[in-house]
Amino acid sequence: MSERKLLLGNDAMAHGLVESGCSVVASYPGTPASEILSGVALWRERYGVPMHVEWAVNEKVAFEIAYAAAQSGLRAATAMKQVGLNVASDPFMSAAYLGVTGGFVVISADDPGPHSSQTEQDSRLTAMSAKVPVLDPDSPDQARELIAAGFELSEAFRVPVMLRPTTRVCHANQDILPGPVAPSGRTAAFVKDPARWAATPVFRHKLHLELEEKLAGIAAWEPTAPRLLNPGVSSRKALVASGVAAAHAREVLADLGLRDVLPLWQVVQPYPLHTAFVERLLADYDEILVLEETTGVMELQLADRHRVKGKRSGFVPEVGELSPELVERLVAAFASIPAAPPGAPPTGGGGRPTLCPGCPHRASFYAIKRAAPKGIYPSDIGCYTLGLNLGGVDTVLCMGAAVSQAAGFYHAYKLSGQVPDIVATIGDSTFFHAGIPPLIDAVVQDARFVLVILDNATTAMTGNQPTPALGWGAGGVPTATVDMEGLVKACGVRFCRSGEPGNLPAFTALMKEAVAFARTDGLAVVIARQPCVVDRTYTGERPPKRAVRVSDACNGCRFCTTQFECPALVYDEETKRVVVDTLVCSKCGVCVDVCPRLAIEEVGK
């Protein structure tokens, strides 16, 4: 018998996948979705369920692996964050036409705000473009329940189905009663049908017509129809909400004493919006307040701008989260009653984010600036983006763009005849994800710059998931390894050297050598190899600890705190000198080689 569990939203969805008989799950880590796959691996082991669970090299690959399983009649899923869906958009669009035989759920976790993303884009818009139905949960438990509903919908209409949780669903905790878990009992049975699975453009037109028919059926499918949460209310006004906004609206109506005044409709399938529901709304209500994150997807389908108050009308903000406080003000304004005044904004914003004490990336950026002080520094997506605090990051666009942009800067400046030093930085996981194709292109086009692969032996920013070079996968399962140096050289790179950033003098010398090579001979790659200081999964050898102290030679120039920015080095306003915060210091000892006055000393030397 199942027991109630306090589960993170991502763990709840993971349990939903396992209890729904999902056989294959593939993902690439990205906040807020990262814990879904690790949760699946955990539940798989706990229940002894046969499943294939993997961290794929990127979201496109993850999608295609899971989709093939759904083509074979199994239930399958892939999980990613909203910008990861961009990477998987090519197969996502095509899979909608081709359809599935087993159930296929695509979890795309959105990040309104955004809290940890380049954009706060709405995955539901991508689903509308692909013509894929979307389910929008309001809580961890509903997200778990909608996993099962998603598989049933997918199999009923033979289409992929998107589940779109947001950060507040993924990272909330809820007391949940999970369902029973049992093996699916299905076996893979791919039925060859080239006219469908390998359809040429003329057949794709037919598949598109079939997809439109499926969408019409989905727009009438009773299990995902909108629900009136407070039946019996008579009003010519109504609230329509989806996702977390529906949960907020439910609480706000109770707080404002409006549960018996305003009807509240919760929409769990914002696309396609149920046809009968749209007809009922427009027949029964004169004014409709639509609450949804982040774009007006339901508004677009209501197509009556005179009656609808939402993002398109300007009544609801188009940017940012719909917080409980904001929803309360919107509902109060809609009901023409006074609302509580907005609270005062928090004071004291705290310190800006910075790399961890002892992070090897800090030493890498310091060496880069020493080797190419007037260079251009394209960078990428990862915790090393914080190198911008150190003056070592000039651009951040998207996964893998550091390499392409470095090449672009080279070609642009070459036209003027004066090419500056260009040093790009990319993480090890990001390099495997999206850095290899642009590296090949840069070699072929003879772009001359330095690429520093910041290899800290993990995917650090999203929770220390493994990379293809480590030899273990989801749940600690052993895997084959990929030789990064061999891969780089196979791309045609002639200068490929590795070094340890913690040995700052030697690493700086290596960086200067690479910069000199790039100026005259071609693209150079430096692999900055040193493990992440907070990765508890790392079992290899770490650099020796080197405790430090600040001597009387310190004159308070602040070079170490401004140019190296280690949180353990603190300027004391009273003494006008730098001191070491021993509670924060990781004892990496790199700062010994940073102080221009040699005032930072290794203890015992």
Q: What pLDDT, in 10s, does the model give residues 423-436?
A: 999 999 999 999 99
User: What 3-state class would DSSP assign to 594?
Assistant: coil
Return the DSSP state at 445. Answer: T
Residue 351 has pLDDT above 90, yes or no: no
In angstroms, rounded to a whole number, what is the distance separating the alpha carbons of residues 143 and 422? Answer: 46
119 pLDDT band (50/70/90 cuts)? confident
Measured from the Cβ of residue 374, the count of other Cβ atoms closer than 10 Å reads 7
Q: What is the CA radius of gyration of the chain?
A: 27
Q: Which of 25-39, 331-345, 437-451, 574-588 has the lowest mean pLDDT?
A: 331-345
User: What 3-state class would DSSP assign to 289?
Assistant: strand
CB 263 within 8 A of CB 239: yes
What percentage of residues in the chain have a pLDDT greater than 70?
98
* Six-digit token string for 299: 């508004």
Give the pairing type, strands 548-550 and 577-580. Answer: unpaired
* Six-digit token string for 178: 């999970």
Question: In 98-226, where do the E strands start and end?
Answer: 104-109, 134-135, 161-163, 173-176
**C-alpha angle 401/376/454, rounded to 5°?**
55
Question: Pick from 80, 76, 49, 73: which is nearest to 65 by CA?
Answer: 76
Q: Which of 106-115, 297-306, 393-402 has the lowest mean pLDDT?
A: 297-306
Residue 345 has pLDDT above 70, yes or no: no
User: What 3-state class would DSSP assign to 499?
Assistant: strand
What percentage of residues in the chain have a pLDDT greater than 90?
85
Residue 2 has pLDDT above 80, yes or no: no
Mean local confidence (pLDDT), 433-444: 96
Report pLDDT for 349.
Answer: 57
In angstroms, rounded to a whole number, what is the distance separating the alpha carbons of residues 342 and 348? Answer: 18
Please name the residue that has the structure tokens 């056989």.
Answer: 23
User: What 3-state class would DSSP assign to 584?
Assistant: coil
Return the DSSP state at 257. Answer: T
What are the distances in angstroms from CA 65 to CA 29, 54, 75, 401? 16, 10, 12, 24
Residue 409 C-beta-side C-alpha neighbours within 13 Å: 22
350 pLDDT band (50/70/90 cuts)? low
Report pLDDT for 12.
Answer: 97
What is the per-residue DSSP string for 106-120? EEEEB-SS-SSSS--
CB 389 within 8 A of CB 586: no
498 pLDDT band (50/70/90 cuts)? very high
Report pLDDT for 1.
Answer: 47
Average pLDDT over all residues of the chain: 93
Report pLDDT for 201.
Answer: 87
pTM, to two decimals: 0.90
Mean local confidence (pLDDT), 2-13: 93
What is the helix (H) or strand (E) element at residue 508, kind and residue range? helix 504-520
Question: Pick from 446, 436, 440, 467: which is nearest to 538 by CA?
Answer: 467
What is the per-residue pLDDT across 46-82, written as a single tens digit (0 to 9) for each? 999 999 999 999 999 999 999 999 999 999 999 999 9
Mean local confidence (pLDDT), 255-265: 95
Residue 348 has pLDDT above 60, yes or no: no
Alpha helices in 20-139 (DSSP H): 35-47, 59-71, 82-87, 89-98, 123-130
Please name the residue that has the structure tokens 């569990």.
Answer: 5
Packed helices 89-98 and 123-130: angle between N→C axes, nearest 10 degrees:
40
Question: Pick from 472, 535, 395, 462: which is nearest to 83 by CA?
Answer: 462
User: What percentage of the chain's residues is helix, strand, coil (to nearest 5)?
Assistant: 40, 15, 45
Buried/exposed code over 512-535 (b: 16+ C-beta within 10 A; e: otherwise): ebbbebbbeebbbbbbbbbbbbbe
What are the distances in angstroms from CA 209 to CA 168, 205, 206, 323? 37, 6, 5, 40
Give the pairing type, strands 5-8 and 173-176. Answer: antiparallel
